[in-house]
A and B are shown apart, each in its own frame.
Chain A
Amino acid sequence: MNDHAQWNDTVGAYLLGALPPDELERFEAHLAECVTCRHDVEELRSAADALPMSVPSVAPPPALKGRIMAVVESEAELLAAAGRRADEPPETRASAPATRRRRRGLGGWFLRPGVALACAAVLLVAGGLAGALLTGGEDTRTVVAQTEVSGADVRLELEDGRGMLVARGMPAPPDGRVYQVWVKRPGQDPEPTSALWTVRDDGSADVAVPGPLDGVEAVLVTDEPQGGSDAPTRPPVISAPLA
């Protein structure tokens, strides 16, 4: 479908991120075939890339770095405990159709909906990530968990030092596996809990996190073989930072 004339003026909207999703998909398909459009995109990309330079420079709050690094470090420790293979894209660990589609030029298997959903490794498509502290009474608060599972909404409800994971829109764990909850304390490997779970037909789950959460910096969820594991074998599907 090398109908270049139809797309001639679309290059600008594409580079500005102004294409609706359906048109973006069709344009990217055309782009794969059209040398002229690829040339135009590369030529004009420098102008679009310069736009963020024009904004007033504003420093991020120092606390933001602390929040991000808390998640990064807890995941790094979890992955170290999980071993080297946890770092490999799911398609190398499981035979699964790899329907790859770049998401707006951002590669990365965490951003590939087709791969992630197809192999049901649960890992991480582009979706709502958040880590916000939503509410906070004296003894209760809700943390929006980090997850890139598309369409999933997972919160950790804390009350009197105990936690309840409330998940909505979660896919079932891969065949033969269950979700397992881990608690992560600073400087320590993630500790397994007895909370093994799957989701209801509608993708919902309410899971009590065993034990008090005093001193816990993050509650994590991985998918594990039936019966659970002593150390995580996969990267986290859900991460709820408490710091």
Chain B
Amino acid sequence: MQLVRRGQAPAFEVIYERHSRAAFSLAYRMAGSRGVAEDVVQEAFLSIWRSGARYERARGSVRTWVLGIVHHRAIDALRRSIVHEKRRASDEGLEETFETGERTDVEAARHEEAATVRRALQHLPADQSQVIELAYFGGFTHTEIAEMLATPVGTVKGRMRLGLEKMRHALGSGQVSLG
């Protein structure tokens, strides 16, 4: 990432190649529309291009950093309300696709990691997975979720924390790597 400084477009291109698929997948999951997902990914990567030197290795992998930026950008888009109607009206299926060719092993490993995380989510009590999904993928604040579910904010926050704690135990330390 030290190479992703201003003026070093080829280094940036490598970062895009490595992480754009995960970035687009997340944005698509949140937005529910290819068009909005493309806008979100474009915003996120241009933000990365313009601030690439700020990546802090100590805080996690490049992939985690990139996905964190995509997540924040997608939430911004959701909260600007540009997405809500589109994602409800979207008739696009979330069709999973996998790359073939030389990186098959990497994709296969990621596919397995994805399955592990999905299992961890599915094994949470429904009220905990629900608030986590509404918050993380839906972009809703805890107060919005509390209103939606007619549940006190404190309860919603408690479920979020409990759910994450259980997920952490389920995933185990280091079992699921995002590098």
User: Which residues of A are interface residues toward B (Cβ below 8 A)?
Assistant: 9-13, 15-20, 43-61, 64-65, 67-69, 71-73, 75-76, 79-80, 86-87, 103-111, 124, 126, 128-132, 146, 148, 235
Contact = CB atoms under 8 A, between A and B. Distances in A.
Contact of A58 (B96, B157, B161, B164): B96
A53 B94 CA distance: 15
B161 A11 contact: yes
Interface in B94-141: 94-99, 107, 110-111, 113-114, 116-118, 120-121, 132, 135-137, 139-141
Contacts of A61: 34, 38
B51 A109 contact: yes
A60 B26 CA distance: 11
Contact of B47 (A50, A52, A64, A129): A129
Contacts of B24: 58-60, 64
Contact of B141 (A18, A107, A124): A18
B168 A58 contact: no
B168 A44 contact: yes
Contact of B41 (A10, A64, A73): A64
Contacts of B28: 55, 58
Contacts of B75: 17
A234 to B, nearest CB: 12
Interface of B: 5-9, 12-13, 16, 20-26, 28-29, 34, 37-39, 41-43, 45-47, 49-51, 53-54, 56, 59-60, 64, 67-72, 75-76, 80, 94-99, 107, 110-111, 113-114, 116-118, 120-121, 132, 135-137, 139-143, 145, 154, 156-165, 167-168, 171, 173, 176, 178
Contact of A56 (B25, B37, B158): B25
Contact of B121 (A54, A65, A130, A131): A54
Nearest to B28: A58
Contacts of B38: 60-61, 64
A17 B97 contact: no
Nearest to B111: A57
A46 to B, nearest CB: 6
Contacts of A60: 20-21, 23-24, 37-38, 41
A15 B164 contact: yes
A8 to B, nearest CB: 8
A57 B168 contact: no
Nearest to B167: A47
B176 to A, nearest CB: 5
Nearest to A9: B157
Given A16-B135, A60-B21, A68 B97 contact: no
A91 B7 CA distance: 20
Contacts of B164: 11-12, 15-16, 44, 47-48
Given A60-B41, A126-B47, A106 B176 contact: no
Contacts of B96: 56-58
B10 to A, nearest CB: 9
Top 10 nearest A-B pairs (CB, nearest first) are: A108-B51, A12-B160, A12-B161, A60-B24, A108-B54, A18-B135, A55-B29, A107-B54, A56-B96, A16-B135
A111 B47 CA distance: 8
Contacts of B142: 13, 18-20
Given A13-B161, A86-B6, 13 more contacts: A13-B142, A47-B168, A54-B121, A57-B21, A58-B24, A59-B21, A60-B37, A64-B38, A68-B46, A69-B13, A72-B12, A107-B51, A108-B51
